[in-house]
Amino acid sequence: MGHPVAHSRSPMIHGYWLKALGIPGAYEFKDLAPDEFVPFISNLVANGYVGGNVTVPHKEAAYRSVSARDAASEAVGAVNVLYLQDGKLMGGNSDVHGFIDNLDDQAPGWKVPGCKALVLGAGGAARSAVYALKQRGVEVHIVNRTPARAEELAKRFGATAHGWSDVPKLLAQADVLVNCTSLGMHGKDALVIDLEPLKDKAVVYDIVYVPLETALLAQAKKRGHRTVDGLGMLLQQAGFGFRKWFGGDPKVTPQLRKIVEADIVAKTPK
């Protein structure tokens, strides 16, 4: 549910799982103007649905409109999954689950003793990442070009805020580096960062997935770091909603990844 929404790859992902698991069901787009969203979700069952994903511009309205929210969506202040529980409309946040499940999947053993993470950015994606990392007991440091936003996020989750000039010093201490900005995304400014101070065994995670391999990940791979890409997060977060709506155990398979990768390549301007 969004406006616009046709760019989403979610129907492709959920359709794959429905077929693979033999579950009778459907996942489809619903383009809703702002004045249509709340009336629609207030009558989800009557409209024939058991839940759905929410994207811009409806996330704030979804957060306000649910009967209750899970711990993750309450903590980060955003709802992007709606589901029914005991007849009540519930709100969840799949980005938190997708972020950490992808890290576990692509970089097993990443959480070393005394683990420290450096998170670049202080927007919605950074909120999900910082919350997920703090839930695992990681010491989190946040850098943002607007220091006040970094400080606000750090205060919210018990992390530490820094200015961009501190990046080299923080890289030397980090076990996990996470880019939660749009820098490096197709059509956006590049992320200019020198990974030279980073520990050899540090993991580099970029939530951007267009392009599939960002300049940050390419630089990290060249230096021998383990890397975690944003496409994995997109795929992993989808499983949270699927389990709420349809049950089953959806897996992020190489075949599913290939299907979505092919779609990204085909639709990304050269």
- Contact between 97 and 240 under an 8 Å Cβ cutoff? The reply is yes
Q: Which residues pair with 89 in a beta bridge?
A: 84
User: Residue 224: how many CB atoms within 10 A of its CB?
Assistant: 8
Identity of the amino acid at 158: G
User: What is the signed CA dihedral for 11, 85, 78, 176, rounded to 10 degrees?
Assistant: -80
Q: How far is CA 63 from the centre of its chain?
A: 17
Q: The tokens of 138 are what?
A: 């990681």
Using DSSP's 3-state secondary structure scheme, residue 89 falls into strand
Q: Where are the alpha helices (DSSP H) in the chain?
A: 10-21, 34-41, 59-65, 71-76, 94-106, 124-135, 147-157, 167-173, 215-222, 230-246, 254-267
Cα 37 from Cα 180, distance rounded (Å): 28
- Candidates 194, 222, 220, 189; CA nearest to 206 is 220
Q: The tokens of 171 are what?
A: 């890289």
DSSP for residue 31: B
Q: Where are the alpha helices (DSSP H) in 136-213?
A: 147-157, 167-173
Q: Which residues pair with 82 in a beta bridge?
A: 52, 91
116 assigned to active site: no
Given 19, 59, 222, 267, the catalytic residue: 59
For the annotated catalytic residues, the residue numbers are 59
